Amino acid sequence: MSLRILRPGLLTTIQDRGRRGLQHLGVVPAGAMDPVALALANALVGNRDGEAALEATLIGPEIVFEEDVLVALCGAQFDARVEGTALPLDRPIFLKAGRALALRRAIRGVRAYLAVAGGIAVPPVLGSRSTYLPARFGGLEGRALRKDDVLPLDPNVAGLSSMRYEKLSGRGVVRAGLGTVRWSAPALTLPDREPILVHVIEGRHYTEFDADSKRRFLDAVWQISPDSNRMGYRLAGAALARPQGGEILSEPTCLGTVQVPANGAPIVLMADHQTTGGYPKIAEVAGADVPRLAQLGPGGTLRFARCSLETALELRRALNARLASALRAIAWEHGQ
């Protein structure tokens, strides 16, 4: 009923859909940086959407399961192996007890989600199992995973896993000792060729920036700085100026808010974003483009394209429709 971490990887944390309804206490939402990949991984192992999974970053963990398990790896393309055999991505995989699963290096994208049938059974904190690193709560002791950590799984993980795999395996195959299927889920959030295009709507202070800055914001190729993290992506590429604007009162911020401190270098707020902030907001990233942006790591490049609120909503509806249709197809394979 547990899994053990043999090697932790660069930054592996437990994440679910995050904490909602507590921002008035300053409690940041946290949760998966790429919730679309998390939803696909959960669906592939027959879980409901909200279960907690492992979020691996750039260099993944090596894990051994105590019992037979049904797992799925979605999001970034990782070089993942089970004792030397390449692990097929975006599929349900039935692993026999005691076999070690190694996520080596991310080849495309930077964050992958490893879901296990029944979810990772750490206790929820304030309504979520998501790890929030700065405040050290959620997940396992509020921290990134370490060597020899043991994570609790569903008490009936072996039973759940074989039951779900049997339903699938009518159409399944065994490949090099791994139980899997002939189909795979679509990767909906892998970044395209860089610089990727990120849609933004005007932020509350957009008009206060000078004309040159507004042009530079939309023309520049921005590079994600090494001091970026789950809280925010700091961007390098041009300096933006807001000559008239003075200091502003702290305002609510949002996933995807693009702030510009006085040094002129924008910061895009990500999953662990602060709930409020007083730096001017030049733009807000369209919700549909946040998961794809989350698949870029330090050194990754992007351009911003301005769009209307209606277009941003349309992009969101389109992504959600693609996700919903993938989830329906997966649920059908599970006989749900």
Partner 1 sequence: MPALGGIALHFDPEHPHLPEAPLGVAETLVRDCLGAVPSRAGRGRMLEVPVCYEPEFALDIIEIAEQSGIEPEDIARRHAANEHYVLMVGFSPGQPYLGGLDPKLAVPRRPNPRTRVPAGSVAIANAQTAVYPYEIAGGWSVIGRTPLALFDPARDPPSFFAPGDRVRFVAISRAEYARLK
Residues contributing to the site for partner 1 (CB under 8 A): 23-28, 125-126, 132, 134-137, 227, 231-232, 247-252, 254, 261-263, 274-279, 313, 316-317, 320
**Residue (165 or 233) nearer to partner 1, CB:** 233
Closest separation in Å from C-beta 247 to partner 1: 5
**Residue (211 or 249) nearer to partner 1, CB:** 249
Closest separation in Å from C-beta 227 to partner 1: 5
**Residue (18 or 75) nearer to partner 1, CB:** 18
Closest separation in Å from C-beta 319 to partner 1: 11
**Residue (126 or 190) nearer to partner 1, CB:** 126
Q: Which two tokens stand for residue 142?
A: 């509020």
What is the three-class DSSP state of 291? helix
CA distances from residue 50 to 31, 97, 148, 185, 252 in whole angstroms, order as listed = 10, 25, 26, 18, 25
Q: How far is Cα 311 from Cα 103, in angstroms, rounded to an integer?
A: 37
Closest separation in Å from C-beta 124 to partner 1: 10
Task: State the Cα angle at 315 between 327 and 91, rounded to 5°.
Answer: 25
Q: Do 9 and 57 form a contact (C-beta atoms < 8 A)?
A: yes
**Residue (207 or 263) nearer to partner 1, CB:** 263
- With residue 222 as reference, give the H or E element that holds it: strand 222-224
Closest separation in Å from C-beta 209 to partner 1: 16
> 3-state DSSP helix/strand/coil percent for the chain, to nearest 5?
20, 35, 45
**Residue (17 or 91) nearer to partner 1, CB:** 17
- With residue 53 as reference, give the H or E element that holds it: strand 53-57
What does the buried/exposed string (b/e) look like for 163-202 if buried means 16 or more CB atoms within 10 Å of the residue's CB? ebbeebbeebeeeeebbbbeebbebbbbbeeebbebbbbb
Which residue bears the tokens 């895009």? 268
Closest separation in Å from C-beta 231 to partner 1: 6
Closest separation in Å from C-beta 265 to partner 1: 8
What is the three-class DSSP state of 336? coil
**Residue (215 or 317) nearer to partner 1, CB:** 317
Cβ-count burial of 308 within 10 angstroms (0-12 exposed, 13-18 middle, 19+ buried)?
A: exposed
